[in-house]
Structure 1
Amino acid sequence: MVKDEKATIPLDIYNISGKSINKFTGSFEQSDDVISFNVGVFGNSFSQKKQQATITVKVPDSTQCGEAFTLNAETVTDFNNQQVPTQDEYSIPFVICTPKLTHIPKVENSALIDATSTEGGLGGNKIGVKSYLLTLSDTAVLNNDFSVSLHIKHKRMSDLKVTLTPPIGDREITLLAYENIQQDEFNQQLMSRFNQEVNRLKGESLEGTWTLKVTDRAVGESGELVSWGIANISGYTKPETTKDNSNRSGGGSLGWLSLLVLVVIKLRETLIKNR
């Protein structure tokens, strides 16, 4: 059980509204504590659309390794163009500790295939597709707690669709589907207990050859599959912690596994809802 522990969490905040922002503020509510952050001006050019902030949070006393807890956030966006500032709410889940996997991810370091333009520019693009194979001899079945590891680098993640097919049958599950992810790297454990699509594989045998397929639908950006894998979770590694016995605002840095590595503020959706 974890108790009285704090961690400093970095927030990467992206402006995808198409407009310059004069001020962006937010707060997380955690029991009787309010954790605030404030971001100044950020524009809409490539170099200006990302800002960073940090928050220090406390793990709830009742939370154990492998369990999730949620932080609720409220944000206010001021465009300074005679519009009323827009408000929105978010729920962001976190998982305590890092999972121990029964199989380490397979390192690929393999270049992905970019989409190509059709001859004469007619009829759309020819998609780029590349498949990867992973053969396991483990006869265990995927239990109530397993994970798919996925580490991809790409300058435009919205170009990509990533699917996984088990050794038996032709069932294909989707891990990523042209997501509007602003960072150029996706490195996460997609855990079955928090991912409904991954959980569809529950009961499958690990034994045999798994197929990961990466599809690129847009021309102009290339990427790399760094590593991937699938495994049961045998336990969790608890990070070094600092006891909080003095009510100080600081705290130890915890190596949490977050279900949201980056907090992406979807300002475009906010604008549509507030028109």
Structure 2
Amino acid sequence: MENERLQATMAGRGIDARALANRVGVDVKTVERWVRGRVPRQRLAVCAAEVLEEDAVFLWPSLHRGRAARAVSPEVVAVYGQRAEVSPAMWRSFFEQAENNIDILVYAGNHLHESIPGFDGLLAAKAEQGCLIRIALGDPDSENVVAKGSEERFGHGIESRCRLALMHYQPLGRLDGVNVRTHGTTLYNSIYRADDELLVNAHVWGVNAFGAPVWHLRRSPGGDMVNSYRQSFDAVWERSSPVA
């Protein structure tokens, strides 16, 4: 079976088999075998992935790190131990790549405005280009938001952060293509969507979101993680209230 991910990535980067072979230091026939489905040794896979600016496990999902085999979903691009490890540049490029849909499900998510200069302008520009944007923020008066603050030992801090987030996003809600709502659901994960890619901040009891893991997912045939999280977003969205 041909490696469609490798083919698409090479085409997207403008790198053909010969160019990739030269930069990795292998014969062009070796790269052609990779395209036809051969899985390279880990060292070569990592080298090729660096040239292509992609994650090796995304290009070769069956590539296992370490001696013990582990199942890896074909939709997992990368896993970050903490949200703090995701750089501001990564957050910006993640949203900039969106062409059709941007979804944000958080309680506050103020780190986006704090770490990405002109984040509102970025979203406004995307909306002007025809991107549909949905933003669901925590209702600061809801029982679940108050409980979350207590669990994180922030007291009323999270409620203030929710109100600050609403101040950031409310003006955007006046733009065509941008919808801002508030919700009071139990937030098991913060979900950030850019078309078929997601950054999912998995929450941990008693830990602030910046210290919890993040999954970088990309929709792929044979995987259902992206669809599961998108359905979760839609379910919360249906229960949320429009912001005036």
- Taking structure 1 as the reference length, the TM-score comes to 0.28
Larger relative contact order, structure 1 or 2 (CA cutoff 8 Å, min sep 6)? 1
- Taking structure 2 as the reference length, the TM-score comes to 0.30
Give 1 or 2: higher strand fraction.
1
Give 1 or 2: higher helix fraction.
2
